[in-house]
Amino acid sequence: MSNLIDQDIAHIRRVMPLSLTGDLGGPILSANYWRARLHRLLDTGHINKGQLADIDSLLVQIDLHELNAASMTATLAKQAAGQIANQ
């Protein structure tokens, strides 16, 4: 079981950043999808300390991605409002 969890964590670590970045249409798979997938691993009850640290690190990456996306959205909204006001 531990080996399967290690493989799943390694897979998530490889594909999650690319999926969250996505393309012009946005993320391929949402932050909520990745968060739920990581929580399912935690819910197995077969997580060792190293795996817990890896999962926690991935959850932090999701949080940072969401904060960066929110900050970028706010910045773009301010810029758009400034352009409208200057017209």
Distance CA(24)–CA(8), nearest Å, equals: 27
pLDDT at 80: 81
Higher-pLDDT residue of 84 and 62 is 62
| pLDDT (0 to 100) of residue 70 | 85
At residue 25, the pLDDT reads 84
Write the pLDDT tens digit of every residue in 10-52.
999 999 999 999 888 888 999 999 999 999 999 999 999 999 9
The model's pLDDT over 53-70, given as tens digits with 9 standing for 90+, comes to: 999 999 999 999 999 988
Q: What is the 3-state secondary structure (H, E, C) of 42-66?
A: HHCCCCCHHHHHHHHHHHHHHHHHH
What number is the average pLDDT over the span 7-11?
A: 98
